[in-house]
Amino acid sequence: LRDCTQATTDQWFTTGTPYAYYIRDFLNWAAKQKLVCALDAPGFQKRHGATMDENTHWAIVHRLLHDDTIEIGDRVAGCLVLLYGQQVSRIAALTWGQVTIANQQVRLHLGTACISVPEPLAGLFVRLSGQPRPYNGVATPRDTDWLFPGITGGRPINASVLGARLRRIGIQTTSGRRAALIHLAGQLPAAVLADLLGIHATTAAVWVREAGSDWSN
């Protein structure tokens, strides 16, 4: 450590080893202990696929929240992808039992903790709750507990159908979900992220590291 300089650190990260980034947390700790001078080390660089551009991400979110020409269900589903990093398969399976609406306040249960949904998204949930349910025949109940009911009686919308609907309004669900998770992981500890979004703690830790945060945050 006594001989470690910025040049030494930079050289380490050019070796191509996939484990190079693991020293970042250690170097930050060592600097705080005054065992080494402050060094700049890049964060976790692992990539699993394309991430939606930040400007595109927020432009689509703005459109979903304010464009009344888009079907209300598509707007809510799109926001769940782009703001809460939810997979389309999980969104398709959501029920009204996971949503609490009282005095125009909306709370959403995705994990073990409860999320207070802010406006204007809360208003979209309220409007969706008042939407008439599909009715396709005598065997199909007029009411259903699914947020996004399918055309088959008593069943939710098919995830592939929902994904196709979202793509038609410009949402690439995989890259959009990655953008949402990286944004959230940059602001929340892994344990909190896991509790709020209903993802495994290990998965949450990976996203926090990919966002460039470290354990000390």
Residues 123-162: pLDDT tens digits? 999 999 887 655 444 444 556 788 998 877 678 888 889 9
Q: Which tokens in the block code for residue 174?
A: 């995989």
pLDDT of residue 138: 46
Residue 16 has pLDDT above 60, yes or no: no
pTM of the model: 0.71
**Which residues lie below 8 Å from residue 13, measured CB to CB, with a gap of 6+?**
20, 21, 41, 42
- In this structure, are residues 203 and 194 in contact, taking their beta carbons and an 8 Å threshold? yes
CA distance 63 to 111: 27
107 pLDDT tier (thresholds 50, 70, 90) = very high
Q: What is the DSSP string of 91-104?
A: HHT-BGGGEEEETT
CA distance 128 to 130: 5
CA distance 47 to 65: 29
DSSP letter at 149 equals B
Residues 186-193 have a mean pLDDT of 85
SS3 114: strand
Residue 41 has pLDDT above 80, yes or no: no
- In this structure, are residues 184 and 177 in contact, taking their beta carbons and an 8 Å threshold? no
